[in-house]
Amino acid sequence: MKFLVTKDLAHSTLLGNLMAGVSVALFFYLGLDTVLHAYVIGSDMLSITNTLYGNVEEFIEPILLDSLLLQVHIDLFMSLFSIMIISSIYIRLYSDKSVTKWLMHMLFILGLLAPLFLMVAYFTSIGFVYAWLVCFGLGHLLGMGMSLRIIKKLLFK
Amino acid sequence: MLVYVVGILVTGVWLFLLSQGLGSSDILQTLTQIATLPETKSLHNFIEVATPHLFAMATLIFVVAHFMLFSTKISQRFSLRFSVLLFIVALLNILAYILIIFGVVVSGWIKLLLLALFVLLFLLLLGMVAFSL
C-alpha cells in the first residue's frame, strides 16, 4: 500500500476518487458479507446453533468441518485484504488523530478473533457463539464506519 | 497481518488434509496415504480449487513481500530472489495435483513436498518481515 502514503492527495484528484471508489465498494462488501453470513451460519441464536451443532429433534445435521473450515479460510483472506485496504487509506487521511492507532488495532483484532471464535464455538460450546457474534458485528460495524469517514473526507470536504 | 497469514496457511493445510481423509484417520496415516495413494480428483475439482488459489496466493505473496521494500536489515536483492522463489513454489504447489490427475506420477509425494516447501518458505518470509519491521 506504499502508493497510498507517498502520493500527495492535494495534487491528485484521480487518487482521491480511486480511494473513495474502493471505500464505497468495501462499505457495501462489509454490509453484504454480514447478510451472507446470516444466510450461511444463521441470523438468530437458534439457527446458528442448529447450523453448528445440529438439532436431533428436527433431524438437522451439524455443518461439516470441511465446510466450516473453508468458510473460515475464505473469511481470513477476505478480512485481511479488506481491513488492510481500509486501514491504509484511513491512516493516509487521519494519521494526525491519536484515536486512529486504536481503531486500527481494534479492527485487526476483531477481524482476526471472529473466525477464530467461530472455529472454537464449533468444537466447544455456545458461549463462543456469542463471542463470535460480538467480534463479527463490531468488526464489520467498525469497518463500515471507517469507510464512511473516508468517503465523507474525500467527497464532502 | 502476519497472524492472519499464519491462520490462512494453517486452515489451508488443514483443509487439504481433510480432503485427503484426515477426518477418519490420524495425521501420520493421512500423510502416508497421500504419499502412497492420494485421493482421486477430477479435472473439474482441480480447476475449482486451483483458480481461486492462483489469484489468492499470488496477491498474498505480493502483499507480504512488498513490506520487504521498507526493510533496512535485509537486502533488496535477497528479498527479490526469495519472493520469486516463493512465487515459483506457489505455482508448482497449485499445479502439482495435475500430475496425479493425468497419471504422470502415481504417488502424492510431490504434492506433499511442494506444500511443505511452500509453507516453510512463506513462514520464513513472514519471519523476515517481522524481523525487518
Q: What is chain B's alpha carbon radius of gyration, rounded to the nearest angstrom?
A: 16
Cα dihedral A135, A141, A142, A147 in deg (nearest 10): 150
Q: Is the pLDDT confidence value at A6 over 60?
A: no
State pTM to two decimals. 0.83
Q: How many domains does chain A have?
A: 1
**pLDDT of the residue at B36:** 77
Please tell me the distance in Å from B95's CA to the nearest CA on chain A. 20
Q: Given an 8 Å threshold on Cβ–Cβ distance, is A84 in contact with B18?
A: no
The whole-angstrom separation of Cα A14 and Cα A55 is 54
Confidence at residue B110, expressed as pLDDT on a 0 to 100 scale: 83
Task: Tell whether A5 is covered by a domain.
Answer: no
Please list every residue in chain B whose beta carbon sits closer than 8 Å to the beta carbon of residue A79: 4
* Nearest residue of chain A to residue B63 (CA atoms): A1
Full domain range(s) for residue A89? 12-155
pLDDT at residue A8, rounded to an integer: 62
Cα separation, A30 vs B133, whole angstroms: 29
Give how far A156 is from chain B: nearest CA, Å.
31
Q: Considering the domain boundaries, does residue A110 fall inside one?
A: yes
Nearest CB to B11: which of A76, A79, A84?
A: A76
With respect to residue A92, please indicate whether it lies within any of the assigned structural domains. yes
Higher-pLDDT residue of B126 and A6 is B126
**pLDDT of the residue at B77:** 86
List, in sequence order, every residue forming a beta bridge with B54; answer none if it has no partner.
none
Nearest CB to B14: which of A69, A111, A115? A69
Across B52-66, average pLDDT: 89
Q: Is B8 on the interface with A (CB under 8 A)?
A: yes
Residue A95 domain flag: yes
Give me chain B's average pLDDT, please. Answer: 85
List the grid coordinates of A69: 473450515
Contacts of A70 in chain B (CB under 8 A): 15
Alpha helices in A41-126 (DSSP H): 45-53, 65-94, 99-123
With beta carbons under 8 A apart, name residues in chain B contacting A68.
Answer: none
Give me A128's grid cell.
463462543
Do the Cβ atoms of B103 and B38 come closer than 8 Å?
no
With 90 as the cut, is the pLDDT of residue B132 above it?
Answer: no
Question: How high is the pLDDT of residue B119?
Answer: 94
Bridge partners of A60, per DSSP, are A55
Does any domain span residue A6? no
In a domain, A2, yes or no: no
Residue A52: inside a domain, yes or no? yes
ipTM field = 0.79
Residues A113-130, mean pLDDT to the nearest whole number: 90
How many CB atoms within 10 Å of residue B18? 17
DSSP result, B68-113? GGG-SSS-HHHHHHHHHHHHHHHHHHHHHHHHHHTTS-SSSHHHHH
- Mean pLDDT confidence for A113-132: 90
A46: left (phi over 0), alpha (psi -120 to 50) or beta: alpha
Residue A9 pLDDT class (50, 70, 90 cuts):
low
A76-121 pLDDT tens trace: 999 999 999 999 889 888 888 888 889 999 999 999 999 999 999 9
A70 in a structural domain: yes
